Structure 1
Amino acid sequence: MKVTYNRQLVFWSACLGMLLFGIGLIMLGSVLPDLRIKHSLDSVEAGTLFSLLPVGIIAGSLLFGPVCDRYGYRTLLAVSAFLMFAGFEGLAFTNTAWILTASVLLFGLGGGAINGATNAVVADISVSGKGADLSILGVFFGIGALGMPLLLSLLKKSVEFEAVVAGTGVLALAAGILFAMVHFPAAKQAEGISLKQEGALFRDITLLLIAFFLFFQSSLEGLINNWTTTYLMERTAAPQEAALMGLSGSVAGMTIMRLMIGTIFRKMTARRLLFVSFGIILVALILFSLSRSVIPAAAGLFLLGAGLAAGFPTMLGLVGNRYPDLSGTAFSFVLVIGLLGNMLVNYTMGVVAENHGIKYLTWFTFVALTMLIIIATVIFERLRKTDR
């Protein structure tokens, strides 16, 4: 089949999309203090906004796969970027509660679709080393997630937060225009996806195992992102600013390691890469759990981010290899399971923290790591038997 697209242009367009998703995922938390003042939000109302973001992301993750497989990537990516533009501008300028709510849903929906579609298209255009290319893609998520809070803090005294959010919306608009102009890979299922093909996904034990690996991978990432600041403030008496810097260290560790996976460790097998990563996570969790001051805890978080870096790219690479003709739909399936894990486990952690204290955070993380090791062992054993 003749290639009708520029691989480098498609890849860097996907990286721009992932940058937007990183910004969108961290945006609400970054501007929430300003939003609470502007809109006089109480804790319940603020919590409602936070709960709407993952709803939008899950909806986008669920929709993108079948749409991309049936119609291709161009329209979905462009429309999703325009949704993020609308959401950012609404967040910046509205004084109306329902528009604020709709704005969060819009950039969540667009971001979820862009996250899934960019991963799927990079898997499609990667002839070999899918996991390595997906790791490079993931670097741009880290840049977006790290860059947004940094930009807001640098400009806080000179520029209103609305201007920064609106400027980010303009970036999303420009990305949407670019996506509409770029030639992406053609639709793989232009005639439509049959029920037989969809049923095969749900009967594939290996794919189900990958989905539940991502369930616990996403859970562990969410536990660190959502609860680390509270843990450090309560267990190490760290001030909020220091606790936030420690959390940023985990994102930095993940970003740097993904860059290394895509370059230095590009030839390492998926199995070896993951099990080395499990070792790093174990060391990081021990260091983090034993720390009684913020500096060793921050070092543990940096290592933890590095250890978590390989999970999603490696497993999505396996999915891309397994379902080259249904990559979008297969990615939708495993990503939605992963996101549900994040929501369910973090909700459970919230209940436990409320009733028994934040000290159980480390218990949750060790359980998640144990599940990752068990599931990964079974996955690679099944793949080894299949390759015989």
Structure 2
Amino acid sequence: MRKAGHAADDRSDGEPCAQRVQRKTGPRSSVRSCPVPYLSFASNFMWVMIIGIFGPSLPAMIIDLDISYTRAGLFFTVLSLGSLVGTSLGGYASDYINRKILFSSIALMLSAGLVFAGLAPTYILIILFIFMLSVAGSPSGIVGQSIMLDMFPEKRERYLAIQMFFSSLGSFCAPLLVALNYSSGLSWRWSFFETAGIVILLLPFILLAYLPKVRAQKHQRSKLISILSDRRIQLSALFLFLYMSLDIGFSYWLAEYFSSELHASMKISSAGVSIFLLGMMTGRLTTPRLLGAVKPRKILLFGLAFALASLSVFLLARPVPVKVAMVFFYGLGLAPVFPLLMARGTAVFPDRPGTVSGFLFASVSLGGMVFPLLFGAVAEGIGIRRTYFIVGFIALGLLIALNRWTAERPQPSKNIHDTG
């Protein structure tokens, strides 16, 4: 028979891990003693690294498969389409299904999908396997985030900012991996195989980690419409959708911009993406420290304004070193926007972290599906440089809208038991 103490740890309505550790060892020990934040950080690192290998691999894939910009943009569109489905279902499932089984299955299917995509000999088969791995693997970050928010709601902004730092770290490591493969004479396909191995490394930590049982009950599933129809959730989803045009819409074509517009080598083109991500990492590493002294609204608006100014200089300047510097500053300013928008959205229904996170990430996936393909089609006619001016106009509109929307402090909704 199991000991009573162990039974108490596993109760679906029992004391959260974070509170239990704080009660026993003090508040400063909660993160070190409870592995879930790190597991969430690692899962987001993993998924974003997978996304990140596509951009710097794009020039080689275009040559190898002999495809146009529009067809190349379809890679990320299909990846985002699968993610749209996967994150929606995975976020909802994480509030109701055994999280350890769900998490482990995601890791296994994602690793297999990466191997198959790397082995696929034709454009059509690559598209097919990209869609499959996206549906199966995209919920990895959502499941980790939902558990983290469920256990540490009072540290929402701080932990989401740290989580986004690890996401940026994954994006930063991806082009370095691709560049290393190029330097070693390996094809773009090796990046898929190597990333699959990284995914497998996460599996033992999932199996060994303490993951609290779900707290949502089956009879509450009908309340999903109450969440999706909330105006604050809808606005959060819209702004995150538009944000993706500034993030992935810019970075996805950055390597090709350096290659076609500046006639740089593939190594330098991949390094350009890394510089953007280095700015992202720096900003997201700084954001948690700033949150203790500066209001989130000010960080959000100033960051977006700084990114817009940097993008303007990037587009108008001619010297390559200035462009490179502005790529860094653009990422630096853009860094706090995503985590602070996500924190604001998930705070509306704190007792449904998985469902809300899944819906918000679905809008992120939709943006990732639309903007690379859209910008690729536009670039076919006017070039990538002029297409980036569209990014600037979107950033300006988003800045104006967020200035008005964030003027009012968000208030959590009533408990989901009482809504709908």
Pair in the same fold by TM > 0.5:
yes
- Per-residue deviation, 1:354: 2.0
Of 94, 113, 123 in structure 1, the residue corresponding to residue 139 of structure 2 is: 113
Q: CA deviation at 1:194?
A: 3.2
Q: Output aligned runs, 1:132-211, within 5 Å.
A: 132-156=158-182, 160=186, 165-195=192-222, 197-211=223-237
1:292 to 297, 318, 325: 318
Secondary structure of 2:138's counterpart equals helix
Q: In 2, are the aligned partners of 1:72 and 1:188 still within 8 Å (CA)?
A: no
Question: Which SS does the other structure have where 2:252 is aligned?
Answer: helix
Structure 1 position 62, deviation (Å): 1.4
Amino acid paired to 1:126: F
Inter-CA distance 372–73: structure 2 relative to 1 (3 Å threshold): farther
Do residues 329 (structure 1) and 355 (structure 2) align?
yes
CA distance in 1, matches of 2:400, 2:183: 49
C-alpha displacement of 1:21: 0.8
Percent identity of equivalent pairs: 22
Separation (CA, whole Å) in 2 of partners of 1:21 and 1:385: 31
Aligned CA distance change for structure 1 residues 20 and 309 (closer, same or farther; 3 Å): same
TM-score, normalization by structure 2: 0.81
SS state at 2:338 partner: helix
Larger displacement relative to structure 2 (298-307 or 274-283) = 274-283
User: What is the deviation of 1:173?
Assistant: 2.0
How big is the shift at 1:81? 0.8
Q: 1:347 to 1:34 in 2, by over 3 A?
A: closer
Equivalent residue, structure 1, for 2:5: none
1:240 CA displacement: 4.8
Equivalent residue, structure 2, for 1:366: 392
Report if aligned partners of 1:219, 1:345 keep a CA contact under 8 Å in 2. yes
Of residues 104, 112, 124, the one that matches 1:86 is 112
Whether contact under 8 Å (1:225, 1:247) holds in the other structure is: yes
Give the structure 2 partner of residue 248 of structure 1.
Answer: 274
- Residues 97-121 of structure 1 deviation map (CA, whole Å, 9 limit, x = unaligned): 7764453234322442112222322
Equivalent residue letter for 1:278 = L
Task: Give the AA of the match of 2:193.
Answer: A
**Cα displacement string for residues 115-146 of structure 1 (whole angstroms, at most 9, x for unaligned residues):** 22223223222242312211111222222222
Q: Secondary structure at the match of 2:247?
A: helix
Cα deviation, residue 222, structure 1: 2.0
Aligned letter for 1:169? A
8 A Cα contact 2:88 2:362, kept in partner: yes
Query: Would you say the 8 A contact 1:287–1:297 is kept in 2?
Result: yes
Is the 2:272–2:324 Cα contact (8 Å) retained in structure 1? Answer: yes
Shift of residue 366, structure 1, vs aligned partner: 2.1
Residues 299/43 of structure 1: CA separation in 2 closer, same or farther (3 Å cut)? same
Q: TM-score, normalised by structure 1?
A: 0.87
**Corresponding residue of 2:380:** 354
In the alignment, what sits opposite 2:329?
303
Alpha-carbon distance in structure 2 between the residues aligned to 1:347 and 1:36: 14
Secondary structure at 2:328's aligned position in 1? Answer: helix
- Structure 2's unaligned 5+ residue stretches are 1-13, 22-30, 414-420
Change in 2 beyond 3 A, CA 1:77/1:152: same
Candidates 287, 290, 300, aligned match of 1:261: 287
Give the conservation status (yes or no) of the 8 Å contact 1:90–1:99. Answer: no
Deviation at residue 25 of structure 1 after TM alignment = 0.7
What SS does the aligned partner of 1:43 have?
coil
Are residues 91 and 300 of structure 1, via their aligned partners in 2, closer, same or farther at CA, if it must alter by over 3 Å? same
CA contact (8 A) 2:76 2:368 kept: no
Structure 1 counterpart of 2:15: 2
Distance in 2, matches of 1:352 and 1:159, equals 33
* 2:91 counterpart residue number: 65
CA deviation digits over 1:141-200, x for unaligned, max 9?
A: 2222222332343355658556664343233123123213322232131325433x2222
Instruction: Go from structure 1 to structure 2 and tell me whether the alpha carbon gap of 1:385 and 1:26 turns closer, same or farther (over 3 Å shift).
Output: closer
Give the structure 2 partner of residue 104 of structure 1.
130
* Matches of 2:316 and 2:65, distance apart in 1: 37
Sort the Cα spacing of 1:190 and 1:263 in 2 relative to 1 into closer, same or farther, 3 A: same
Distance 2:126 2:79 in 1: 12
Deviates more, 1:76-85 or 1:375-384: 375-384
Specify the code of the residue in structure 1 equivalent to 2:198: L
Change (3 A) 1:4 1:121: closer
- Using the TM superposition, name which of 203-212 and 41-50 deviates more: 41-50
Q: Does 1:379 align with 2:405?
A: yes
Aligned counterparts of 1:214 and 1:48: Cα–Cα separation in 2: 21
Unaligned runs of 5+ in 1: none
Return closer, same or farther for 1:346/1:19 CA change in 2, 3 Å cut-off: closer
Q: 1:304 to 1:72 in 2, by over 3 A?
A: farther
AA at the equivalent of 1:181: L
- Distance in 2, matches of 1:98 and 1:358, equals 25
